[in-house]
Amino acid sequence: MPDIDPDFLALPLRELADAALGRAAELGAEHADFRLERIRDRTLAVSDGAVETAAEGDALGFAVRVVHRGVWGFASADALTPDAAARTAERAVAVAEVAAPLATDRVELAPEPVHADRTWVSSYEEDPFEVSMRAQAALLSGWCRRLMEDGRVDHVDASLLQAKEQKFYADTAGTSTTQQRVRIAPEVEVVANRNGLLDSMRTLSPPAGRGWEYLPTVEAELAGLPALLDEKLRAPSVEPGRYDLVVDPSQLWLTIHESIGHATELDRALGYEAAYAGTSFATPDRLGELRYGAPSMHVTGDRTAEHGLATIGFDDEGVATSSFDLVRDGVLTGYQRDRRISAAQGLRSSNGCAFADSPGHMPIQRMANVSLAADPTGPDTEGLISGVEDGVYVVGDRSWSIDMQRYNFQFTGQRFYRIRGGRLDGMLRDVAYQASTTEFWNSMAAVGGPASYVLGGTFRCGKGQPGQVAAVSHGCPSAVFTDVRVLNTAQEAGK
Amino acid sequence: MSGSSPQAVVERALELSRSSSCMVLVRERSTANLRWAGSSLTTNGVARNRTVTVIALTDGPSGTSVGVMARSGLRDDELEGLVRAAEAASESALPSEEAVPLLGPAEAGAGGDWDAPAAATGVDVFSAAATGLGRAFRASAESGRLHYGYAEHTVESVFLGTSTGVRLRHDQPTGTIEMNTRGSSADGTDPRSAWVGRATRDFTDVDPDALDAELARRAEWARTPVELPAGRYETVLPPTAVADMMVPMYFDSGARDASEGRSAFSDGEGGVRIGERIAGLPLTLLSDPARPGLECAPFVVADAPGRDVSAFDNGLPLRRTEWISKGVLSALGQTRATAARLGTPPAGFADNLVLEQEGAAGGTDDLVASTERGLLLTCLWYIRMVDPQTMLLTGLTRDGVYLIEDGRITGAVNNFRFNESPVGLLQRATEAGAPVPALSREMGDYFPRTEMPALRIPDFNMSTVSKAS
Ligand SMILES: [Zn+2]
């Protein structure tokens, strides 16, 4: 396993933390924490072989968060001097002073054992920032040119996103942690316009908490893309109606993200996101009682899965991460929480879901890796398909949308196959499926086995005001859902 | 950032540059925000940071290559490292197809006073508005309406310098306030919620009492719940909801995608639809950096180049551009390089958007008054592209769908999921009001400077009912 980069460790981490936390304590803050982060990111976008974007960002800064007079105060800055750290602590306290008259709820934090001088590094082999941008651009460009030679393809877009997060956290209770993680998201899409129809086909390899060693996984998909796109453009348009669906993990991860991941965020369920990201139908009064889905549905939240995008050792409030139940035997049994909402609910500890996407932002409750367990003795995807008489097999994610209480969703995908008599019978075009969360999960008739399990995910989950972006993974097997509404998107557009 | 002023950083980085040519952008940003839920402040903060972007260009035998490196939290003594990193990136990059000669001071746009210090904001910008919010919070118990919302103020000064002598600077104040009230179900009032939002440059024109009065009016409308099924409805889209649909269309109106057959503005035969009538009404869609109240940078700032934004265009003047002129598609956004390839004038995307119809008068209330039976929406949410060819978007209604009968609001309707294309809406709209400043609920975080009319759509496609409230 890699070590934390020495240049990060050489920064005056403790000196700044001591200056900030000391000043906050002098000013009477009940709690203070200090978080210094360096976040590197690289974006490469290549279209038809030409480089459209090749950019790198490198952000370094720190934040001081206090609980003072029972309310939050937060300030951040980017000058790494003890004096600036102390001034930033003063600004955080001043923000709390302004806020105090308008706050009626006192901020209390759930207790957490002290974790002193702990370090954690994510699981990857080759740091992608050690590979030159030229080598990366040349690789993507070569992929594009190879695909452009195929007459079935008009355009090719290839992109590569990568990030490295390094963070140092210290608080007035005595916890201090130093952590580093790396993530990467390569993607290739081919596009063609035939007989007035425009369509595209994209690779399915998900973004992952891995290094440069991940690239061959995507490359292996490239050769198949032109034929898949060609088949999609020739496929019949779907007849709208109700179908049984076999949903591949390459699509199901996103349905889990939207209809379970966000719905089991306790801050949403309590109304803290009511004006923006929304609330949840899965309210705390229904904990232990709400029948979320079929008895075969077991969902956990975790920040510990190897290569998971939300995986880390300690969260942004110094809480050690873990794995916990959200839905067990189809019943709602838990929530994702941070220290404040845990305390507000009378719970003895947080389950480690606080995260801030930059030193300029305050940590809020963000998503753990929320994953659907495979059936230990379940079949592979082919086995699931063989049990469906009349249905549609959905592969890959494309467009998604869900309401602010997480009931009504609509998803499209990369490819759709008609299932007849337990076998695939060609592709379909223009498919979207629409359902209501608990109806959909209660219609889950079969869950795939470990052979079909994939850890999917995204770099770009948005939440909060000011807006914050987080990366998160979702593991799941393929699964069968019965009697789901399928729309024809061409008809919806009045085409 | 220790030491140097942003202007000094620009000059020093240009001096340090050894590449064929070089551009330096410094963004000096300060921001303050308040957030509340359940009529109590929750998270609040202030932040300051500086981002320095160096764009190095290397001329070679097969063309010019570009290296872009951005850093924040940079010390003065680290500037040379950043310049060298950008140079190394550019030397190792493949030649760019966007390469055109950089602009000189004569061709570049005009900016603000280069030498003035960077502008800044702080939490005190909210002093007056916070008093009004406090009043509304304290009245919650009596009104039965709990307050949720967010206010943010950001001031950003951007400084652009190039090795060809361009020195441009722009100060951008951006503020938004969003207020949402929900009935506290404990006292038995209707749980349906209402939302109002607006953009502001400095919060001096924000009146929380007036915004709260509008929320109270809508809470009254919501006293009578009405259940309606999915289907096509005559619908009055208020300016906020029109902004929700027009902003995604603007983001997807690049000439390059259209010319490659990849958007709703492609003609299907390798060309674009410029010159084609796309709106039934004589509507004009335009961007104008000088639009009063919506002022934004009058030149291209490209520190994050992409498909329709080229680093080579840094400093390019942004002028009033009509994208749709009296119902006819008249321009698509494009860089100088794409424009040269397509043989049409370059058209940069400015940071504001206006939809208007000459002579149109009246607002949402007037359109409601002349509606026999229909729906009035508040805003749209979770809008995503379903099909780029038709620009079909899906999304949901949110925080207020009202039934109009005989020119009056008679109740609050359940929410719906819609499937609609903004291009289709322009085609089918039968009536427009006068444009007013309007904050898009969905896109306002990224694109707050919009002025939109209310629109009447005879057959808005509500695809399914959403139980969300
Ligand atoms: Zn999300």
A423 and A291 share one domain: yes
| Residue B330 in domain | yes
| Residue B291 in domain | yes
What is the Cα B374 distance to its own chain's centre? 29
Report the number of distinct structural domains present in chain B: 2
**What is the mean pLDDT of the segment spanning A358-377?**
97
Residue A257 three-state SS: helix
Q: How far is the CA of A489 from the centre of ligand 1 (A)?
A: 23
Domain end position, chosen among A187, A211, A234: A234
**What is the mean pLDDT of the segment spanning A68-73?**
94
| Residue A1 in domain | no
A151 and A246 share one domain: no
In terms of residue numbers, what domain contains B450?
224-469
B207 and B305 share one domain: no
| Residue A293 in domain | yes
A156 and A65 share one domain: yes
- Confidence label for A104 from pLDDT (cuts 50, 70 and 90): confident
Minimal Cβ distance to A404: which of B37, B381, B386? B381
What is the Cα B46 distance to its own chain's centre? 22
Side-chain half-sphere CA neighbours of B361 within 13 A: 1
Domain end position, chosen among B179, B194, B221: B221
Pairing of strands B353-357, B450-452: parallel
Is the Cβ pair A436, B193 closer than 8 Å?
A: no
A385 and A286 share one domain: yes
CATH number for B118: 3.30.2290.10
B417 and B312 share one domain: yes
B191 and B264 share one domain: no
| Residue A11 in domain | yes
- Confidence label for A218 from pLDDT (cuts 50, 70 and 90): very high
**Any CB–CB contact under 8 A between A263 and chain B?**
no
A341 and A443 share one domain: yes
Predicted confidence pLDDT, tens digits, chain B (469 residues)? 457 999 999 999 999 999 999 999 999 999 999 999 999 988 888 988 899 999 999 999 999 999 999 998 888 999 999 999 999 989 878 889 899 999 999 999 999 999 999 999 998 999 999 999 999 999 887 888 899 999 999 999 999 999 999 999 999 999 999 999 988 754 444 567 899 999 999 999 999 999 999 999 999 998 899 999 999 999 999 999 999 999 999 999 999 999 999 999 999 888 999 999 999 999 999 999 999 999 999 999 999 888 899 999 999 999 999 999 999 999 999 999 999 999 989 999 999 999 999 999 999 999 999 999 999 999 999 999 999 999 999 999 999 999 999 999 999 999 999 999 999 999 999 999 999 999 999 999 999 999 999 999 999 999 999 988 8
User: What percent of chain A has pLDDT above 90?
Assistant: 93
Dig out the tokens for B425 from the structure. Answer: 């809406």
Q: What is the DSSP string of B142-192?
A: HHTEEEEEEEEEEEEEEEEEETTS-EEEEEEEEEEEEEEEEE-GGGT----
pLDDT tens, residue by residue, A149-158: 999 999 999 9
Give the pLDDT of residue B1. 43
Minimal Cβ distance to A410: which of B41, B195, B417? B417
**Any CB–CB contact under 8 A between A195 and chain B?**
no
Whole-angstrom Cα distance, residue A326 to residue A334?
4
Give the pLDDT of residue B189. 45
A212 and A155 share one domain: yes
The dihedrals phi and psi of A145, each to the nearest 5 degrees, come to -60, -40
Query: Between vectors from CA A188 to CA A185 and to CA A192, what angle results, nearest 5°?
Result: 155
- Confidence label for A384 from pLDDT (cuts 50, 70 and 90): very high
| Residue A247 in domain | yes
**Any CB–CB contact under 8 A between B226 and chain A?**
no
Which whole-number Å values give the CA distances from A108 to A35, A80, B35, B137, B366, in the listed order? 19, 30, 18, 21, 49
A166 and A276 share one domain: no
B276 and B204 share one domain: no
**Any CB–CB contact under 8 A between A489 and chain B?**
yes
| Residue A388 in domain | yes
Minimal Cβ distance to B123: which of A54, A98, A402? A98
Minimal Cβ distance to A53: which of B70, B85, B306? B306
B422 and B437 share one domain: yes
Q: How far is B363 from chain A (nearest CA, A)?
A: 25
| Residue B416 in domain | yes
Dig out the tokens for B250 from the structure. Answer: 């603007």
B211 and B228 share one domain: no
| Residue A44 in domain | yes
B242 and B307 share one domain: yes
> What is the chain A residue with the closest CA to B96?
A51
Whole-angstrom Cα distance, residue B418 to residue B86?
46
CB interface of A with B, residues 317-356, below 8 Å: none
**What is the mean pLDDT of the segment spanning A307-320?**
98
Whole-angstrom Cα distance, residue B203 to residue B177?
9
B397 and B370 share one domain: yes
pLDDT tens, residue by residue, A115-143: 999 999 999 999 999 998 889 999 999 99
> What is the chain B residue with the closest CA to A194?
B268
**Which neighbouring-strand residues pair with A314?**
A320
| Residue B1 in domain | no
In A281-328, DSSP assigns E strands to 299-302, 323-328
B243 and B353 share one domain: yes
**What is the mean pLDDT of the segment spanning A394-400?**
96
CATH number for A219: 3.30.2290.10
| Residue B96 in domain | yes
Q: Which residues of A touch B49 (CB under 8 A)?
A: 59, 61, 76-78, 360
**Any CB–CB contact under 8 A between B39 and chain A?**
yes
Residue A128 three-state SS: helix
Report the number of distinct structural domains present in chain A: 2
- Confidence label for A14 from pLDDT (cuts 50, 70 and 90): very high
Give the pLDDT of residue B187. 42
B42 and B114 share one domain: yes
**Any CB–CB contact under 8 A between B148 and chain A?**
yes
Domain end position, chosen among B185, B203, B221: B221
Minimal Cβ distance to A78: which of B49, B69, B262? B49
Specify whether the CB–CB gap between A415 and A427 falls below 8 A: yes
Domain end position, chosen among A196, A212, A234: A234
In terms of residue numbers, what domain contains A305?
241-492
Is the Cβ pair B180, A274 closer than 8 Å?
A: yes
Is the Cβ pair A51, B96 closer than 8 Å?
A: yes
Domain end position, chosen among A186, A205, A234: A234
**Which neighbouring-strand residues pair with B154?**
B31, B174
> What is the chain B residue with the closest CA to A406?
B468
Q: How far is the CA of A368 from the centre of ligand 1 (A)?
A: 11
Q: Which residue has the higher pLDDT, B219 or A14?
A: A14
| Residue A269 in domain | yes
B127 and B56 share one domain: yes
A480 and A360 share one domain: yes
Query: Between vectors from CA B177 to CA B175 and to CA B183, what angle results, nearest 5°?
Result: 170
Specify whether the CB–CB gap between B413 and B230 falls below 8 A: no
Residue type, A264: T
pLDDT tens, residue by residue, A151-204: 999 999 999 999 999 999 999 999 999 999 999 999 999 999 998 899 999 999
> What is the chain B residue with the closest CA to A72?
B43
Whole-angstrom Cα distance, residue B62 to residue B226?
67
Contacts of B205 (CB under 8 A, 6+ apart): none
Give the pLDDT of residue B185. 59
A163 and A282 share one domain: no
CB atoms within 10 A of CB B214: 13
A229 and A285 share one domain: no
What is the Cα A218 distance to its own chain's centre? 19
Q: Which residues of B touch A60 (CB under 8 A)?
A: 71-74
Whole-angstrom Cα distance, residue A164 to residue A127?
9
Whole-angstrom Cα distance, residue A301 to residue A322?
8
> What is the chain B residue with the closest CA to A105?
B40
A229 and A261 share one domain: no
A226 and A247 share one domain: no
Domain end position, chosen among B191, B221, B251: B221
B217 and B231 share one domain: no
| Residue B156 in domain | yes
